[in-house]
Amino acid sequence: MPQIEWVGTPNYRASRNGRKPLAIVSHITAGYYPGCLSWMQNPESQASAHYLVLRDGRILQMVKEGDTAWHAGVVNRPNWNLYDGSNPNNYTIGIEHEGMPGDGLTEAQYQSTLWLHGQLLAKYPAIKMDSDHVIGHYRIDSVNRPNCPGAKFPWAKLFADLKGDHEVDNLVIYADGDVGAALLLSFKLKCPMVHKAFAEKIQAKNKHWIGVQGTNGDGNYYYAGSDRIETAKLGL
């Protein structure tokens, strides 16, 4: 699990003018550490973000989430449904990513920003997991920041991992001799089926599953009739 290191910056405004975080805005620094951090700690830059995710996976925090970072205040031809005409800094959390627009994220950097996004989504219910609440800087300034965070920013992977689309929400887990019941349940529930020997490799902890003569688990379902037909009926 990544650790967040406090580094601070004088470039922020205390509080959020009564607003609460509504969205996460990702950026690319267009420079490398430590220069990119020094720039956002320089009062002359008038720039900052709440977090900076380095290419080695370290997460640096410059501004408290309850305060306003200066990361997306200039608005120019926005393409963002949640923009309400006021300063976006008041209701967004800014995450800078070390690198140039053409770099793409390193694997360590990606895993850290994925973890950080997940933490923020869990902390702020108003930040939904969709393309209006998790955005790039280019959505706010399409003129001067069209490459922020860049064409190689892994939006599709980020959304899939945050939503868990690479995993199944429902799964029929069956044992030898229970194929018939598993087939019926899988068809009815429109979800995959897998033998119990391979289930742990596919199914994440606490995901939903349907056990056919299997072992029960917290928050899951377990169907076991007198035979495979009765088992299937219990699930229907």
Catalytic residues: 96
Burial class of residue 98 (count of CB atoms within 10 Å of its CB; 0-12, 13-18, 19+): buried
d(CA 84, CA 23): 13
Residue 165: CA atoms inside 13 Å, Cβ hemisphere, count?
Answer: 9
Q: State the pairing for strand pair 134-136/23-28.
A: parallel
Chain center to CA of 214: 32
Helices and strands (H and E) in the chain: how many: 6, 12
Q: Which two tokens stand for residue 117?
A: 């996004």
- Provide CB contacts within 8 A for 42, sequence distance 6+: 11
Q: Is the separation of the CB atoms in 27 and 95 below 8 Å?
A: yes
The amino acid that residue 49 corresponds to is A
